[in-house]
Amino acid sequence: MGSTNSTLSRIPNVEELMQETGFTPAHIVRLYDRFEALDKEKTGHLRPQDFGAINRLAMNPIGDRIIGSFFSTGQETVDFHSFVRILAHFRPADKNRPKDPSMPQPVNSRTSKLKFAFQLYDQDKDGKISRAELLQVLRSMLEMQVTEEQLESIADRTIQEADLDKDDAISFEEFRKSLEKVNIDHKMSIRFLR
């Protein structure tokens, strides 16, 4: 008879993973089942094509970027640990955690979530969202529906609003400031049922 315990024991370093990400054993098991379901060829790794098989993701305008965020630069596969670590960014924040500035930020804190979202825009990881990078995101989200001029004017306007030090790019601090009123925890969290 199968058991949760046996599933957990199949995952190497699962204690460490739970500690790092804050997922409960039940969540880890569910994610592992999901990982295995996506890993159709049972290689123990996921490739971009495995994500591509998810229909709802394929119809998401920034689906490719989301898939890309799972693979760190140069890597072509993602194993279960990295899979869970990325998803951990979207765990709802732990309300009872004491704010201790000396400890490193947990992976699902507001700052970490914002950093993660920032990376969606900042593809070359230079710490700034340039006009070209912003245009790229806009293009994926709007594609054929608007003209190139409209895209450019939207990009210009956005940078104008957020760019405080006038370097024609949005740094992480400016990004954070521009979104300080948004309820990040609510909007960038996925709540597991049980």
Partner 1 sequence: MTDLCEGGMDDLWSIATLLLQVWFSVMIGLIMIPAMFGLSLGVTSVYIQILVKILEWATLRIQRGHRDQPTLPVPAPLPNGLIQREGGSMEQEMGELRRYRTQSISRGEFALSDSFYFYRKGLESIVDDQVTQRFSSEELVSWNLLTRTNHNFHYISLRLTVIWGLGVIIRYCVLFPLRITLAIIGLSWLVIGTTLVGFLPNRRVKNWLSELVHLMCYRICARGLSATIQYHNKNNKPQKGGICVANHTSPIDIVILANDGCYAMVGQSHSGLMGVIQRSMVRSCPHVWFERSEMRDRHAVTSRLRAHVAAKSNLPILIFPEGTCINNTSVMMFKKGSFEIGGTIYPVAIKYDPRFGDAFWNSAKYNMVSYLLRMMTSWAIVVNVWYLPPMTRQEGEDATKFANRVKSAIAHQGGLLDMAWDGSLKRDKVKEEFKEQQQKMYSSMVVGKKARNSQEPHTESTRR
Binding mask 61-80 for partner 1 (x = CB under 8 A): xxx--x--------------
Region at 29 (left for phi over 0; alpha for psi -120 to 50; beta for the rest): alpha
Of 9-17, 74-82, 99-107, 152-160, the window that binds partner 1 (rule: CB under 8 A) is: 152-160
> In this structure, which amino acid lies at residue 16?
E
List 42, 56, 125, 166, residue binding partner 1 (CB under 8 A): 56
Give the CB-side neighbour count of residue 39, counting CA atoms within 13 A: 16
Write the DSSP string, 83-148.
HHHHHHTTSPPPTT----TTSPPPTTSHHHHHHHHHHHH-TT-SSEEEHHHHHHHHHHHHGGGS-H
Cα distance between residue 90 and residue 107, in whole Å: 9
Q: Is 182 helix (H, G, I), strand (E, B) or coil?
A: coil
Taking CB under 8 A as the rule, does residue 3 contact partner 1? yes
Question: Least distance from C-beta 104 to partner 1, angstroms?
Answer: 23
Nearer to partner 1, 132 or 182 (CB): 182
Cα distance between residue 166 and residue 148, in whole Å: 24
Q: Tokens at residue 93, please? A: 């924040």
Taking CB under 8 A as the rule, does residue 135 contact partner 1? no
Taking CB under 8 A as the rule, does residue 182 contact partner 1? yes
Binding mask 94-133 for partner 1 (x = CB under 8 A): -----------------------x--xx------------
For partner 1, the binding residues in 5-34 under the rule CB under 8 A are 5-6, 24-27, 29-31, 34
Which of 112, 78, 107, 111 lies closest to 17, judged by CA? Answer: 107
- Give me the residues that bind partner 1 (CB under 8 A), please: 1-6, 24-27, 29-31, 34, 37-38, 51, 53-63, 66, 87, 90, 117, 120-121, 137-138, 141-146, 150, 153-154, 157-158, 162, 170, 175, 178-179, 181-182, 184, 187-194
